[in-house]
A = this chain, B = another copy of it.
Amino acid sequence: MQITLKDIAQQSGYSITTVSRALTGYSDVNAETRQHIQDIATALGYQPNLLARQFRNQRTYTLGLIIPAHDQTFSTGFYSQLMLGIGDAASLEHYDLLISAQAPGEDEMIAYRRIVAGNRVDGMIIARTRRNDERILYLQGRGHPFVVSGRGAPGEPSDYPYIDVDSQMAICTIVQHFVELGHRHIGLILPPEEIAFTGFRHEGYCEGLAAAGIPYRPEYVINGDLWWSGGYECTETLLDDYPMLSAIIACNDLMALGAMNAIQERGLQVGADIAVAGFDDITAAEYAYPPLTTIHQPIYEIGQMLVKLLISIISGATPTETQVLIPSTLMVRASSGIQRI
Contacts of A77 in B (CB 8 A): 75, 77, 80, 283
Residues A98 and B97 in contact in the complex (CB < 8 Å), given A50-B118, A75-B80, A77-B80: yes
Q: Contact check: which of B2, B55, B81, B101 meets A55 at CB < 8 Å?
A: B55
Residues A99 and B101 in contact in the complex (CB < 8 Å), given A49-B119, A51-B54, A51-B55: no
Q: Are B101 and A88 in contact (CB under 8 A)?
A: yes
Contacts of A55 in B (CB 8 A): 49, 51-52, 54-55
Interface hit among A9-17, A160-168, A231-239, A286-294: A286-294
Chain A 75-102 interface mask (CB, 8 Å, partner B; 1/0): 1110111011001101100001111111
Contacts of A91 in B (CB 8 A): 69, 100-102
Name the residue of chain B whose CB is nearest to the CB of A62: B98
Q: Are A96 and B98 in contact (CB under 8 A)?
A: yes
Interface hit among A109-117, A189-197, A205-213: A109-117
Number of interface residues of A (CB under 8 A): 56
A47 at interface by CB-CB < 8 Å = yes
Contacts of A98 in B (CB 8 A): 62, 96-99
Q: Are B96 and A97 in contact (CB under 8 A)?
A: no
For the complex, what is the distance from the CA of A81 to the CA of B80, rounded to whole Å? Answer: 9
Chain A 289-305 interface mask (CB, 8 Å, partner B; 1/0): 11100000000100000
Contacts of A99 in B (CB 8 A): 87, 96-99
A329 at interface by CB-CB < 8 Å = no
A284 at interface by CB-CB < 8 Å = yes
Chain A 13-55 interface mask (CB, 8 Å, partner B; 1/0): 0000000000000000000000000000000010111111011
What is the count of identical protomers in the complex?
Answer: 2
Q: Are A75 and B84 in contact (CB under 8 A)?
A: yes
Q: Are A257 and B287 in contact (CB under 8 A)?
A: yes
Q: Are B69 and A87 in contact (CB under 8 A)?
A: yes
A171 at interface by CB-CB < 8 Å = no
Name the residue of chain B whose CB is nearest to the CB of A63: B99
8 Å CB interface, A122-149 against B: 142-143
Q: Which of A69, A79, A90, A143 has the most CB of B within 10 A?
A: A69
Contacts of A54 in B (CB 8 A): 51, 55
A306 at interface by CB-CB < 8 Å = no
For the complex, what is the distance from the CA of A300 to the CA of B72, rounded to whole Å? Answer: 11
Contacts of A96 in B (CB 8 A): 98-100, 115, 120
A70 at interface by CB-CB < 8 Å = yes
Q: 8 A-B residue contacts at CB 8 Å? A: A2-B119, A69-B84, A75-B300, A87-B99, A90-B101, A91-B102, A97-B98, A289-B289
Given contacts A49-B55, A91-B100, A287-B288, 11 further A-B contacts (CB under 8 A): A2-B119, A45-B117, A50-B119, A51-B54, A69-B88, A77-B80, A79-B80, A80-B83, A96-B98, A287-B289, A289-B289
Q: Using a CB–CB distance below 8 Å, which chain A residues touch chain B?
A: 1-2, 45, 47-52, 54-55, 58, 60, 62, 67, 69-70, 74-77, 79-81, 83-84, 87-88, 90-91, 96-102, 113-115, 117-120, 142-143, 257, 282-284, 287-291, 300
